[in-house]
């Protein structure tokens, strides 16, 4: 009965395809001082300034800097007045991710399909234009004050979006670090909220669960968390969702929620083709990473088998390794990049593995807890 099977497949793929996503379009941060934050991302993290919008371009209430490194695009936005949505966000959360923008073919349909399935609208579809063409955007609410923005840009040829100007000349501050694309972005949500957001991604966005860890997987002597990874149809988008679990002391998720003041984005993982080179460059440029005890490397070969990279190099840089049945992966985590212990970054290189470093959680969380204890928050 091959015909019947084919028809069933088609129905399934149509059902899953109500929200086709090409990838992450950009991530917009609300920050206290975008001009100075942009220096950190350029001189330390390897991004290049590509576009700008502010009073000089006719925008009166905010200034935004667009930074790019290969396929990764960050927008840093700061308020120019003491009141309003951006100023409120910075007051309550400190610097943090406001919008995870997704690249779609049809921002109208993305908004209609998701709001029809229960998403709360933040902004109805709208069109913006300049001499470089037209773009269409819409937004829906996510956890905390975070939103998803749908970006339709097939008819736009400018440096970023209408209203932004290309920055003149080469960026003399940018020092590229070989970061290629966003691998995954992790959200921290409150006690008992993980399944609510898992269901949101399933029902509203048409995502499915990628991997599942429970608190037995992710616990140390003191604290624990639970995490589920959601992915879209083409698996280009991966959003792990964490919630705290009961432990003897305060978990890193609770510390985040206390300081961010609500659920929000915990870390962004950026992929590289050469993690040793990228981390060497980032360390030279002043990026601070979590330190890993040398004992981690003593039994590394026994745990993960043979790998291409010299173990002494990995130990010197503090890079972690994990293996699953498809291959292995290398990863490292920065310290929080704000004074509040909130958002941090992961640098990741995949060599076959599609997982998230479950074998490293214990070593990693013990490193995070040492930092928490130094802040008096454990
Ligand atoms: Fe991660």
Domain annotation for the chain: domains and CATH numbers: 18-166 (3.10.180.10), 179-375 (3.10.180.10)
pTM of the model: 0.92
Task: Please write the tens of the pLDDT for every residue from 69-103.
Answer: 999 999 999 999 999 999 999 999 999 999 999 99
Q: How far is the CA of 269 from the centre of ligand 1 (A)?
A: 6
Asked if 314 contacts 321 with a C-beta cutoff of 8 angstroms, the reply is: yes
Q: How far is the CA of 108 from the centre of ligand 1 (A)?
A: 31
End-to-end Cα separation, the chain, in angstroms: 61
Q: How far is the CA of 182 from the centre of ligand 1 (A)?
A: 11
Strand order in the sheet with 344-351: 208-213, 224-231, 238-245, 179-188, 264-272, 344-351, 327-333, 320-324
Q: How far is the CA of 88 from the centre of ligand 1 (A)?
A: 28
The secondary structure of 344-375 as a DSSP string is EEEEEEEEB--S--GGGHHHHHHHHHHHHHHT
- Is it the case that residue 7 has pLDDT exceeding 50? no
pLDDT of amino acid 14: 46
- Is it the case that residue 3 has pLDDT exceeding 60? no
Asked if 241 contacts 218 with a C-beta cutoff of 8 angstroms, the reply is: no
- Is it the case that residue 149 has pLDDT exceeding 90? yes
Q: How far is the CA of 51 from the centre of ligand 1 (A)?
A: 28
Q: How far is the CA of 350 from the centre of ligand 1 (A)?
A: 12
* Between 220 and 68, residue with greater pLDDT: 68
CA geometry: angle at 107 spanning 105 and 112, to 5°? Answer: 120
Q: How far is the CA of 315 from the centre of ligand 1 (A)?
A: 20
How much is the average pLDDT of 111-139?
Answer: 98
Q: How far is the CA of 183 from the centre of ligand 1 (A)?
A: 8
Fill in the DSSP letter of residue 249: S
Number of Cβ atoms within 10 Å of the Cβ of 17:
13
Q: How far is the CA of 173 from the centre of ligand 1 (A)?
A: 28
Task: Please write the tens of the pLDDT for every residue from 177-223.
Answer: 999 999 999 999 999 999 999 999 999 999 999 865 544 556 666 56
Give the chain's mean pLDDT: 91
């Amino acid at each position: 009965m091959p015909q019947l099977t084919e028809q069933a497949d088609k129905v399934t793929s149509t059902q899953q395809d109500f929200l086709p996503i090409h990838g992450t379009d950009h991530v917009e941060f609300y920050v206290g001082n975008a001009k100075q934050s942009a220096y950190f991302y350029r001189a330390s993290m390897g991004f290049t300034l590509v576009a700008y919008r502010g009073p000089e371009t006719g925008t009166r209430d905010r200034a935004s800097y667009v930074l790019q490194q290969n396929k990764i695009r960050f927008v840093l936005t700061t308020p120019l007045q003491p009141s309003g949505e951006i100023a409120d966000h910075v007051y309550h959360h400190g610097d943090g991710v406001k919008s995870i923008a997704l690249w779609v073919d049809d921002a109208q349909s993305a908004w209609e399909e998701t709001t029809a399935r229960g998403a709360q609208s933040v902004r109805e579809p709208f069109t913006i234009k300049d001499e470089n063409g037209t773009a269409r955007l819409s937004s829906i609410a996510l956890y905390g004050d975070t939103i998803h923005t749908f970006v339709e840009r097939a008819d736009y040829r400018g440096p970023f979006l209408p209203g932004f100007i290309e920055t003149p000349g080469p960026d003399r501050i940018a020092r590229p670090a070989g970061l290629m694309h966003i691998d995954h972005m992790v959200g921290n949500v409150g006690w008992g909220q993980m399944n609510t957001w898992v269901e949101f991604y399933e029902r509203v966005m048409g995502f499915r669960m990628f991997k599942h860890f429970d608190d037995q997987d992710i616990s140390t002597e003191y604290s624990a968390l639970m995490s589920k990874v959601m992915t879209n149809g083409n698996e280009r988008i991966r959003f792990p969702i964490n919630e705290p679990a009961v432990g003897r002391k305060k978990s890193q998720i609770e510390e985040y929620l206390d300081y961010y003041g609500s659920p929000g984005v915990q870390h962004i993982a950026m992929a590289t083709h050469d993690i040793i080179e990228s981390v060497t460059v980032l360390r030279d440029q002043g990026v601070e990473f979590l330190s890993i005890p040398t004992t981690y490397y003593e039994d590394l070969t026994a745990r993960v088998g043979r790998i291409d990279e010299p173990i002494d190099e990995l130990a010197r840089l503090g890079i972690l390794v994990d293996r699953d049945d498809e291959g292995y992966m290398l990863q490292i985590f920065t310290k929080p990049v704000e004074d509040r212990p909130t958002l941090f970054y992961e640098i990741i290189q995949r060599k076959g593995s599609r997982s998230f470093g479950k074998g490293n959680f214990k070593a990693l969380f013990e490193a995070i807890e040492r930092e928490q204890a130094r802040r008096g928050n454990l």
